[in-house]
Structure 1
């Protein structure tokens, strides 16, 4: 089958638990780093699905790779290749679908309880609430025709579904090692960003085994649902020249 394309934008924001789920399903993978010079392809038909991870950049930044990613997403939407976006990736998907992405009055950093909308509970193993990790300054508006899946105290639009395409204004893919790297990378921001919407590094890293176990229950259900939409048929071999 065609590989799943993963676009990673920061060293500390890797595919994490999502990578484990994809490998459990035996899916071939291709990982690119557009921020390091990898060129996002323009054609999504070579992939069974496209994943976009988080970034310290804003979707409003005038960078060629950000614009090229949206061209890829537009092609994936036209071809029906499922897209899964986390945080920055969800904002890229929302913007490609015609929604605006705005700066929040305050950053949202730390662990949050989110509510699952009734229409989306089948995506999260029937859960009405879930725990998620957040680190973002921007938020998307709901794309036209999309269904809200998640909302929270610090953001009405925490997730959406548009057919097989899913956007998360949060991180369900986080791991213990990844969170520690992320906190080390963002230590200066955590030290100066105190307030009701920013947790300290100590708070973020406390009770990780219990928190990650809760996150993984919701993440595994959602990722399994998304994987179910991938085209897993074998790729036909091209005929050899006579």
Structure 2
């Protein structure tokens, strides 16, 4: 199954709408679908933000046999998280997840891809995912620059955000670039109600300890920041990244299918 669309070309980008109070929201009791890629993975700070808004988490791991729903009618939205694998891997669960993204795109449900999840979204929309031409990585904090569209959508972006990736992706045709970077130009983009971010706003302090311990060999890669810089930079940049995430998640879930709005 593949999904290509030009319906987003020229789409007007407007700021996130004000979220309806949970007591009155039609999606208030619906869970958010969470797709993880390792047995020990957690939704981290994204999960905390969703729970704070009153949503339960429907956690599934297709890599270990969990099925994905055929519709998101019973979910408020969906998030695909990162992992050490590549969107280019031939594994069946990778192919199934990329194909599955057709569902939130078609149904115009809120979708968020983080790192690997963003690369899967880009691939579903026809873009190429590949390592940097000079084998550079981003492991640690790196600067990003919101575009005018990014500012219009969500005004307060952090100056630097946390990364852990070896591959990047092209901007899919017909989508909106929200934030850019230097070595990996596409850092955040939007396709209708679907968003992809190359960075990791989900990482908690405990997760950073685990990642920098278990992934210590990654620090020898070109461009990687050494472990002590991760924690020093977190002290400087994390408060802004956390505030941005809370604002983003709130506005992201407030987005509702265009067809459903028109019918009201």
Do 2:159 and 2:237's aligned partners in 1 also have CA atoms closer than 8 Å?
A: no
Do 1:13 and 1:54's aligned partners in 2 also have CA atoms closer than 8 Å?
A: no
Mapping of 1:25-36 within 5 angstroms?
A: 25-36=53-64
Q: Does residue 227 in structure 1 map to residue 253 in structure 2?
A: yes
Q: CA-to-partner distance for each residue in 1:103-149, whole Å, 9 max, x for gaps?
A: 2222111101110001111333x236532101111111111111001
Q: 1:173 to 1:201 in 2, by over 3 A?
A: same
Do 2:157 and 2:241's aligned partners in 1 also have CA atoms closer than 8 Å?
A: no
Distance 2:213 2:163 in 1: 16
Match of 2:125 among 72, 90, 97: 97
Question: CA RMSD, aligned part only?
Answer: 1.8
Aligned to 1:119, what secondary structure does the other structure show? helix
Aligned to 1:149, what secondary structure does the other structure show? strand
Match of 1:81 among 96, 109, 113: 109
Do 2:158 and 2:240's aligned partners in 1 also have CA atoms closer than 8 Å?
A: no
> Aligned-pair distance for 1:38?
2.2
Structure 1, unaligned stretches of length 5 or more? 232-242
Match of 2:47 among 19, 32, 44: 19
TM-score normalized with structure 1 length: 0.87
Quick check: 139-148 or 205-214, which moved more?
205-214
Do 2:158 and 2:244's aligned partners in 1 also have CA atoms closer than 8 Å?
A: no
Q: Could you tell me which residue of structure 2 aligns to residue 208 of structure 1? A: 234
Q: Does residue 118 in structure 1 map to residue 148 in structure 2?
A: yes
> Aligned-pair distance for 1:178?
0.7
> Aligned-pair distance for 1:74?
0.5
Structure 2, unaligned stretches of length 5 or more? 1-28, 258-264
The runs of at least 4 aligned residues of structure 1 exceeding 6 Å deviation read none
Q: 1:224 to 1:212 in 2, by over 3 A?
A: same
Distance 2:204 2:106 in 1: 33
TM-score normalized with structure 2 length: 0.80
Q: CA-to-partner distance for each residue in 1:127-174, whole Å, 9 max, x for gaps?
A: 365321011111111111110011112221111011111100111111
Mapping of 1:67-216 within 5 angstroms?
A: 67-104=95-132, 105-124=135-154, 126-127=155-156, 130-190=159-219, 192-193=220-221, 195=222, 197-216=223-242
Q: Could you tell me which residue of structure 2 aligns to residue 43 of structure 1? A: 71
Aligned to 2:55, what secondary structure does the other structure show? coil
Do 1:116 and 1:129's aligned partners in 2 also have CA atoms closer than 8 Å?
A: no
Q: 1:128 to 1:218 in 2, by over 3 A?
A: closer
> Aligned-pair distance for 1:202?
1.2
Q: CA-to-partner distance for each residue in 1:48-88, whole Å, 9 max, x for gaps?
A: 21100001000111111111112221012111111100000
